[in-house]
Amino acid sequence: MGDVAAENDTARTAALLHEVARASSGLVVLDPGLSDAVLDGWPVPVPEEIRVLLRSVAGVRITVSRSPVNGHESTEHIDLVHPYNSGRYAGYDVGWYLEHAGGSGTHWFVHTDSGDGHDYVDVDRSTGAWGPVFRFWDATDTVRLAPSLPAWLDALADCLRAALAETVAGAAVPAGTEGAATVRAFGRSFTDAWAALDENTTDVATVTAAQATTGTDPLLREAAADLPADARLADLRAVPGPARVVFDFSTCRYARRAGGAVLIATEWEDA
């Protein structure tokens, strides 16, 4: 039997996204939900509470600008079926990013942005549970954005509602070149609020695996038990909101333990 409370939470998240889309005058469009047959074919397990969400919403497309000359629109796409997960993006092999996030079966990508940020959900390889949402860039700094995929999407919906209230206020936005200024104002308002999710963070220090295995914290000792001595761990348990960690490696491979409460980086010599 699934976790009824968690399933109710994800159902509320899906309903909130649908509500925002209906009120957006077409600026927010949801990708149709997915069937269980599709979800069964994914390379990671999909728990029932996540299925409740994905059966209803598979992505969110947000119009952030419109040309006043030809009406061309630019969009931000939160893609819960992100092509990274199949190993290719725009025809290119993205195996480096899959390994950077921890390797097959340990994560699920949901978004890439124009600033080269890569957002993914932690997936526990042993239990199949989906945990926090993390973001990394090509460097070795990373952010835990939210404690779960539904919480991350709730924050997205909050940013969208605030931007709509500030710039659209329920009025219809004409198609074509009309309304370009309103769309641009909405896009700026949304983008500023969305970017703040990885700016208003708490910095978290790291310890080496050698320090963790000889320390007094049993969870850190267990998390570090099979790691190289110079691997580094960040304990995120004490940080309630977004958390930022900078690992002292030139290139690293990430991993998570304890449901994403401990973030790990090891030197990636083959990168």
Output the pLDDT for position 111: 96
**Crossing angle for the helix pair 149-167 and 180-195, nearest 10 degrees?**
140
Q: What is the pLDDT of residue 116?
A: 85
For residue 21, CA distances in Å to 35, 160, 181, 216 come to: 21, 9, 20, 49
Contacts 24+ apart (CB under 8 A), 97-102: 99/253, 99/268, 100/136, 100/252, 100/253, 100/254, 100/268, 100/271, 101/134, 101/136, 101/254, 102/253, 102/254, 102/255, 102/256
User: What's the pLDDT band for 1 if we cut at 50, 70, 90?
Assistant: very low
Q: Are 148 and 130 in contact (CB under 8 A)?
A: yes
| pLDDT band (50, 70, 90) for residue 139 | confident
pLDDT of 221 above 70 = yes
- End residue of a domain, out of 198, 230, 248: 198
In this prediction, residue 168 carries a pLDDT of 81
Examine the domain organization and report whether 88 and 186 are in the same domain: yes
Residue 262, beta-bridge partner list: 235, 257
Q: Are residues 62 and 174 in the same domain?
A: yes
Express each pLDDT in 63-88 by its tens digit. 999 999 998 999 999 999 999 999 88
pLDDT for 215: 95
Range of the domain at 237: 202-267
User: How far is C-alpha 17 from the chain's CA centre?
Assistant: 16
* Alpha helix ranges (H) inside 143-243: 149-167, 180-195, 209-213, 218-224
Residue 154 and residue 120 in one domain: yes
Give the total number of structural domains in the chain: 2
Q: Are 38 and 164 part of one and the same domain? A: yes
One domain, residues 215 and 238 = yes
Single-letter amino acid, residue 104: S
How many Cα atoms are found within 13 Å in the side-chain-facing hemisphere of 40?
Answer: 3
Q: Are residues 239 and 163 in the same domain?
A: no
Average pLDDT, the chain: 92
Answer yes or no: do 219 and 128 share one domain.
no
CB of 75 within 8 A of CB of 64? yes
Q: pLDDT tens digit string along 115-130?
A: 789 999 999 988 999 9
